[in-house]
């Protein structure tokens, strides 16, 4: 079984030392830097904006994986791309025209992702599959870190994996929410190729980051 990409969510990091934290996870073996962007409207929390992303960009060469939990989302895409986002993921519910949004992300030069909340049906992918570089399965309801993994989402991972394989899509299948050492292997067995983890990476302080990432990779 191929080891998954590990995408530490800086939502769980020390916000007073974000640059140092990004450098630390880079040195610890992270594959992406996952940036959760929340607006207090689409989800009940507020996190960071393009200026913070831009400030973090010089601290690592890792891809910036920006998960936009904002609505309406289209008017912010260019700002996050200009700030250094390499991959931009959006929710179907965050704008009226998902196909147009994904096309625009790619026109900006970034990779495009679709995020499925726990109750969002997988069928929405059927009409945009050719325009998707990543599918993110939310295994919690978005808005806060530290939530518990929703077990039913393992079936959704399996379902999306089958759809990707059937269409020959090379899209990354990512899982986010309550991912830890106890359920990481189940996510990968279900078909995930990338895992977003906050607490599971950042727990124990910087000396533990490398071991935490290796554990999630199953190494």
What's the whole-number mean pLDDT along residues 10-30? 97
Query: Which parts are annotated binding residues for substrate?
Result: 9, 67, 143-146, 176-178, 198-199
Query: Which parts are annotated binding residues for a divalent metal cation?
Result: 34, 36, 67, 176
- Percentage of the chain lying above the pLDDT 90 cut: 94
Q: How confident is the model at residue 144 (pLDDT cuts 50, 70, 90)?
A: confident
Active site residues per annotation = 36, 176
145 vs 159: which has the higher pLDDT: 159
- The single residue listed with the structure tokens 């625009």 is 104
Q: Note the pTM of the prediction, 2 decimals.
A: 0.96
Q: How confident is the model at residue 148 (pLDDT cuts 50, 70, 90)?
A: confident
Cβ pair 24, 211 in contact under 8 A: no
Q: How many domains does one find in the chain?
A: 1
What range defines the domain where residue 181 resides?
5-217
What's the whole-number mean pLDDT along residues 86-92? 98
For position 28, which CATH number holds? Answer: 3.20.20.70
Longest dimension (CA), the chain: 45
């Amino acid at each position: 079984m191929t080891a998954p990409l590990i995408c530490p969510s800086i939502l769980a990091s020390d916000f007073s030392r974000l640059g140092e934290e990004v450098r630390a996870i880079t040195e610890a073996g992270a594959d992406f830097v996952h940036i959760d962007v929340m607006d207090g409207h689409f989800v009940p929390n507020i996190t960071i904006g393009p200026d913070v992303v831009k400030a973090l960009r010089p601290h690592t060469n890792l891809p910036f994986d920006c998960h936009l939990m904002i609505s309406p989302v289209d008017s912010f895409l260019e700002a996050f791309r200009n700030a250094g986002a390499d991959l931009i993921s959006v929710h179907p519910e965050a704008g009226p025209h998902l196909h147009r949004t994904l096309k625009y992300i790619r026109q900006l030069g970034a990779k495009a992702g679709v995020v499925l909340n726990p109750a969002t049906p997988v069928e929405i992918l059927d009409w945009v599959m050719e325009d998707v570089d990543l599918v993110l399965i939310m295994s919690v309801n978005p808005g806060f870190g530290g939530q518990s993994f929703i077990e039913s989402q393992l079936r959704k991972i399996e379902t999306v994996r089958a759809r990707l394989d059937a269409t020959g899509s090379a899209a990354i299948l990512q899982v986010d929410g309550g991912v830890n050492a106890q359920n990481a292997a189940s996510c990968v067995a279900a078909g995930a190729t990338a895992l977003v983890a906050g607490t599971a990476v950042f727990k124990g302080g910087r000396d533990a980051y490398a071991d935490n990432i290796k554990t999630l990779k199953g190494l």
